[in-house]
C-alpha cells in the first residue's frame, strides 16, 4: 500500500529537499477546505491561522502515525 501511494498517488516530488510536492498538496487542501467547509476556512482566516502548520505532518506521514488516547 505504501509503495502504491508513493509511486502512483502522491505528487512525485513530495519528499524532495524543498518539499515542493507537499506545498502543492497543502494548496489543494486549503482550496478544498474553503470549498467544502467555507465557515471553518473563514474562521481560520479570521484568526490568521495557517492550516498547513498542522496539516503538513498529516501529509508527510500519510496518516500512519499512531496516537494513543489518555482515557
pLDDT tens per residue, range 38-68:
999 999 999 999 988 888 777 777 655 555 5
Contact at 8 Å (CB) between 21 and 15? Answer: yes
Where do the structural domains in the chain lie, given as residue ranges?
18-60
Who wins on pLDDT, 29 or 71?
29
Percent of the chain's residues with pLDDT above 90:
27
Dihedral (CA of 38, 43, 45, 49) sign? negative
SS3 content of the chain, % helix, strand, coil (to 5): 60, 0, 40
When pLDDT is averaged across residues 10-38 and rounded to a whole number, the result is 80
Amino acid at each position: 500500500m505504501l509503495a502504491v501511494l508513493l509511486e502512483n498517488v502522491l505528487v512525485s516530488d513530495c519528499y524532495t529537499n524543498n518539499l515542493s510536492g507537499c506545498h502543492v498538496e497543502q494548496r489543494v487542501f486549503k482550496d478544498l477546505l474553503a470549498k467544502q467547509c467555507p465557515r471553518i476556512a473563514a474562521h481560520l482566516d479570521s484568526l490568521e491561522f495557517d492550516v498547513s502548520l498542522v496539516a503538513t505532518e498529516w501529509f508527510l506521514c500519510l496518516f500512519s502515525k499512531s496516537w494513543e488516547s489518555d482515557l
